[in-house]
Amino acid sequence: MSPEENKAIVSHWNEELWKGNQAMYDKCVDPNCLFHGIGGQEEHKNFTGITIQRLAEGKIVEEWTEADLLGQQQIGAIRAPFPTS
């Protein structure tokens, strides 16, 4: 697939996923997809970050996500993973 087609798939995936459309998962994500990055959160928070996705044959086959959780800890939005002194 062309880079433009891959960009359209990822854009559509992101738009629909954030709307809560779980049906997009089967359409856009390979069943053997490997997800790397941050774990689940106890509750939803807003944060900044980046996600990089690798596609093959029109489906997401690998994804890396990195988020600014340290910034969220500094403003008290999430707990620190260990006690601070």
Provide the residue ranges of all domains of the chain, joining segments of one domain with +: 3-74
The pLDDT, as a whole number, for residue 38 is 56
Residue pLDDT, tens place only, 42-68: 555 566 788 899 999 999 999 998 877
For residues 13 and 24, give the distance between their C-alpha atoms in angstroms, rounded to a whole number.
6
Sign of CA dihedral 70, 73, 74, 77: positive
The pLDDT, as a whole number, for residue 84 is 57
Compute the half-sphere exposure of residue 41: CA atoms within 13 Å on the CB side of its CA: 14
**How high does pLDDT run on average in the chain?**
78
User: In which band, very low, low, confident or very high, does the pLDDT at 13 lie, cut at 50, 70 and 90?
Assistant: confident
Contact 45, 78 (CB under 8 A): yes
CATH code reported for the domain at 3-74: 3.10.450.50
Structure tokens belonging to residue 8: 């359209």
